[in-house]
Structure 1
């Protein structure tokens, strides 16, 4: 197993889940999500308890799911309440129901030990709350790479000079080393200050600031949980922040080699262009396209290696290495090792 299960993961965005069934593989498990009459969301294992047939290929009877094979019917708790060919369902016939937590645009799913979900609430994402002065936009994609490769990629932004040169402010030829690196048993974060520099074209477009002036920047990155990565980017002026940008990635393993990515961008500030939303969405969509292509190539190379190969680490890998150790420690703990 290459991912921990005792963790909340994003299964969908709120606008994806409606009256129709949404089928998705999460942590190698088929899951079906759908909205109940009261507006809440149910999530069941997407397999009939009678025969291996997806419940998502069936139909609804109110809040219940009717299997499209033999008609076995399940309530939102996963209990089989009807078998057409007999008077009562077999004792104990049920499918697993997964705890669901909705926060902002994210639909979180708990697939760990039953009953433990309430002891570990999902990570907070205050920038995505409906109230407050933040605006946000997002997208979802599937990347053909293991989720740890994605975490490591976004914990080392030194690749920006090779992969996203147009994002770098003019005159900055190298990222300064992180000034702050905080490591705990469950999270890793870093922060760095960039020197004063003029605006890159994308910064000027989303802020409306004068591209001839120079500004400071502060950048941070955090491995929050195995299911969430958070980055911030702040353009500062003489009197404080002018534009704050937060990029949240929900990384959810589909399998050991594929990952659902739920990207949300949030922004606020005194310097925000009227069309900042679509401009940011376009810029970071193109970035994600390039990132995905590189990560899928890395995964393919790993799969093609005939024998495990040791790759060297550099100083910029410090946060990524620690995040990998945290994940490995969580997996060992779950396995009782």
Structure 2
């Protein structure tokens, strides 16, 4: 199920906020990434403002990411041109006059809840439609969290497919969050959609706790387990967890027990590669040693396993070419998400065509 790309049309939905990184990545050096095909350099100014520019000096085209962050902006590492957060050249060493054309393209970059969001417009004059999404988990005193960044040599929608279909846990993640594969494949599944948001809910009552759960929470025996996946075009939120079997309803939004709340910012690099920005938050049990680092480490281990599978999947798609595939019951969520992406991509194409007409 590779993404359909139409010649001359945007490969991805535009006029969207996408995850570009995390606030803690912007220290005293610039950060370079290619996002939706655009080479971008990000940095933080002395007053704490975050900025994103095209990663190309307008003088001799050295990547600006090879330069240095200073109090007023980013200085090119070749001839020392200094650019501010908006891409305007502030200084040319040895030259008083600054040409009007001495500027580089800037992108709207926002920092919210320790997540960096970049606006990718369909047209040159596209402006952000409101602020980027909030993610209150990162400031919720009940949780502690950590995260990281992966690079995938695979299209970003293969990662969406993986996140929206957690039935694979029993086969791919046996040493961490897996559990009984048969229970996973036969779990009660409910898929709903509201606008561009697709939600997949899976309940697994009366299960054995998988290794990560058992190490992080003092379960008495068997558990009632849940997985709630919320797909947005720019990111995926996953709430998983468990409680002692029979202690509460699985549909109670205030249910107790062991919780893991995952943030997954899946951003295309190119049509065949992607960035995966993730965090995992958990609620430490007061009677146990803080399991946060354990949960972070084991979550990272599961993502390493997923990365191996997804990249191998894509290599095989390239090797065999376009072939028909068979859908099964667990594909409802991923297929709905793909339809959302294609509809938004088509809308971006129409917006661009109207601008160019």
Within a 5 Å distance, the mapping from 1:256-335 to structure 2 comes to 256-268=271-283, 273-305=288-320, 307-335=321-349
Distance in 2 of aligned mates of 1:301 and 1:172: 26
Distance 1:272 1:288, change over 3 A: farther
Length-normalised TM-score, structure 1:
0.89
In the other structure, the counterpart of 1:91 is 100
Within a 5 Å distance, the mapping from 1:155-194 to structure 2 comes to 155-166=164-175, 167-169=177-179, 173-194=183-204
Q: Does 1:127 align with 2:162?
A: no
Distance 1:51 1:331, change over 3 A: farther
In the other structure, the counterpart of 2:252 is none
In the other structure, the counterpart of 2:52 is 43
Between stretches 170-179 and 216-225, larger displacement belongs to 170-179
- Compute the displacement of 1:60 (Å): 4.5
Within a 5 Å distance, the mapping from 1:138-157 to structure 2 comes to 138-157=147-166
Q: Does 1:228 align with 2:243?
A: no
Secondary structure at the aligned position of 1:275 is classed as coil
Q: Does 1:62 align with 2:62?
A: no
Secondary structure at the aligned position of 2:201 is classed as strand
Task: Give a deviation string over 1:88-124, Cα, whole Å, max 9, x none.
Answer: 3333432111112212231111122566554243222
In the other structure, the counterpart of 1:75 is 84
Q: Does 1:200 align with 2:210?
A: yes
Are the counterparts in 2 of residues 170 and 199 from structure 1 also a CA contact under 8 Å?
no
Unaligned runs of 5+ in 2: 1-9, 249-254
Distance in 1 of aligned mates of 2:80 and 2:184: 62
Distance in 2 of aligned mates of 1:199 and 1:37: 48
Distance in 1 of aligned mates of 2:332 and 2:181: 26
Task: Give a deviation string over 1:206-261, Cα, whole Å, max 9, x none.
Answer: 11223xx2221121112122x21111113124154211211111111122211111
Are the counterparts in 2 of residues 182 and 190 from structure 1 also a CA contact under 8 Å?
yes
- Compute the displacement of 1:271 (Å): 6.9
Unaligned runs of 5+ in 1: none
Distance 1:120 1:178, change over 3 A: farther
Task: Give a deviation string over 1:26-53, Cα, whole Å, max 9, x none.
Answer: 1121111111111121111111123322
Within a 5 Å distance, the mapping from 1:95-110 to structure 2 comes to 95-110=104-119
Distance in 1 of aligned mates of 2:186 and 2:62: 54
In the other structure, the counterpart of 1:53 is 62
Between stretches 182-191 and 104-113, larger displacement belongs to 104-113
Distance 1:109 1:309, change over 3 A: same
Are the counterparts in 1 of residues 169 and 184 from structure 2 also a CA contact under 8 Å?
no
Distance in 2 of aligned mates of 1:9 and 1:266: 21
Task: Give a deviation string over 1:174-228, Cα, whole Å, max 9, x none.
Answer: 4335443111331111112112123223211111223xx2221121112122x21
